[in-house]
Amino acid sequence: MTHDVLVIGSGAAGLTAALELAEHKKVLVLAKGKLTSGSTAWAQGGIAAVLDAGDTFDNHIRDTMVAGGGLNDRETVEFVIERAPKAIDRLCELGVPFNREEGDLHLTREGGHSHRRIVHVNDATGWAVQAALLKAAEENPNITLLPNQSCVDLVTGRNQKDYSGSGRVWGAYALDEDSGKVVTHLARATVMAAGGAGRVYLFSTAPRGATGDGIAMAWRAGARVSNMEMMQFHPTCLYNLEVKNFLITEAVRGEGGRLFNPVTGERYMEKYDAERMELAPRDIVARANDDQIKRYGLDYVHLDISHQPPEFVKEHFPTIHEKLLGLGIDMTKGPIPVVPAQHYTCGGVKVDLDARTDLPGLWAAGECTESGLHGANRLASNSLLECFVFGEAAAKDILSCWDELDDPPEILPWDESRVTDSDEEVVIKQNWTEIRRFMWNYVGIVRTTKRLERAAHRIRLLRDEVEDYYGHFRVTTDLIELRNLLECANLIVTSALKRQESRGLHFTLDYPETDPIARDTVLVP
């Protein structure tokens, strides 16, 4: 199947690129699972933009750089933040029903921000944004949306009938889950917007499909990745044995929520960041929560906003309030049990300001990339913003150089002549569980060289097993995801071992100091 442009991923980054491209080209959008199954729909908080009279771009840039531990690329930070108000205007035009107060957009504040600048739709912003983008895409005759497609690998010059080592990307091989067949999708240009790798960890707020597919595919095809050790852990994920990944948004703390030790009753953030308390950046709050849990042998800490009027809490957090009531917790009357959990992949495929990767024919946007915006720690509500800005940047660059892009050559079909159906699915489940458990225990919020080396040793053992399995059996979505999870685990551990300092999200007991010069950790295939 050939289209003008192939977009892998149906979240904010992928659909933004598709809508911009579709004004002139035919676009195919592939989604793994449902069209709404990506991380965008799960975003509770909102989108950061300078919209208040007392705020400035310089303030937002400074807050982003401070949160990012100085590892951010300032040119990228300026590029994104200066385009934020325009991105919000476009979303309003698409019909996103942002909260308003006397006609003006209601702005909330989150950790690390010096001003109120978060536009939101109650506490379910991502769902409203996803719905608006999807509606626009479904109504566009130049966009074809194809769900239940699990991409296996990028199609490159190595897959041409006349072999080429150029690294040129021509599309992707994808497993059609309905037919069980691997289909070749070809295009002049490909946009990778496949999301992050959160599910490499045992506890994560990311959706089930966040298995690092885009990062792993681009790496195998020859693209560099950067700063994969910078895995963000959200400080406040609901602690509930039945509900494993329900996020309690940053905005609860932004609107006055306080953290307490459930045993001592102490409000402890003063020990870790006396000035900003609960509004410190996520890496600081997550480490504080982790320290309290480990120091006192707790299962969780308490997040309490019950001192605020009940109507205020219900009005600001209707989704969370309703969800918690169903679990027997009334946040208007008492505290919420919370734990840190993996939340966002700050590293990824290296891209420039045009969203270009190292590989000709491949652009990338969103959580699968490392653009220079987030540095060593993402500032709250900058993630959806990055998706809109770089999704648009990818589309504009593709359109500007369209005449230089060749039509795809003849590509070899997917070869499954030497494989059979698996009768050992237990191997996948066992390895998946093992990866997520040792990554949580050894490569979590606080690290040591010995723990990282233990993780690296297990990855080496698993790699042979997974590659042998992949070589003998037909691909399934579970197998594709396991292969990509292991690849991303290896990239995270390798990057973490290379960074011999503590900065932002990478905190190691063996190197607690921060180097005077900030350097990216860049891995070359």
List active site positions: 282
> In the 8-state DSSP scheme, what is residue 494?
H
| Residue in this structure with the two tokens 């006349």, named with its chain if needed | 162
**Cα 243 from Cα 40, distance rounded (Å):** 19
> Under a CB-based contact definition with an 8 Å cutoff, are residues 112 and 65 in contact?
no
At residue 351's C-alpha, the angle toward residues 61 and 385, to 5°, is: 40
**Cα 133 from Cα 138, distance rounded (Å):** 9
Q: Closest Cα to residue 286, out of 232, 209, 331?
A: 232
User: Which tokens hold the place of 443?
Assistant: 């490569």
The enclosing H or E element of 107 equals: strand 107-108
User: Which tokens hold the place of 418?
Assistant: 């030497």
**Cα 71 from Cα 507, distance rounded (Å):** 14
Q: Please, is 379 exposed, middle or buried when counting C-beta atoms within 10 Å of its C-beta (0-12, 13-18, 19+)?
A: buried
Quickly list H helices, 401-448.
Answer: 425-442
At residue 485's C-alpha, the angle toward residues 215 and 230, to 5°, is: 60
Rounded alpha-carbon distances, angstroms, from residue 522 to 220, 228, 375, 498: 15, 9, 13, 9
327-342 burial: b if 16+ Cβ within 10 Å, else e: eebebbeebbbbbbbb
Instruction: Estimate the crossing angle of helix 477-498 against helix 425-442, to 10 degrees.
Output: 20
User: Which tokens hold the place of 416?
Assistant: 């499954």
Kindly tell me the number of DSSP H helices and DSSP E strands found in the chain. Answer: 15, 20
The enclosing H or E element of 362 equals: strand 362-364
Instruction: Estimate the crossing angle of helix 74-81 against helix 383-400, to 10 degrees.
Output: 90
**Cα 135 from Cα 129, distance rounded (Å):** 10
**Cα 183 from Cα 151, distance rounded (Å):** 9
> Under a CB-based contact definition with an 8 Å cutoff, are residues 287 and 271 in contact?
no
**Cα 213 from Cα 473, distance rounded (Å):** 19
> Under a CB-based contact definition with an 8 Å cutoff, are residues 20 and 5 in contact?
no
Give the largest CA-CA distance in the chain: 70
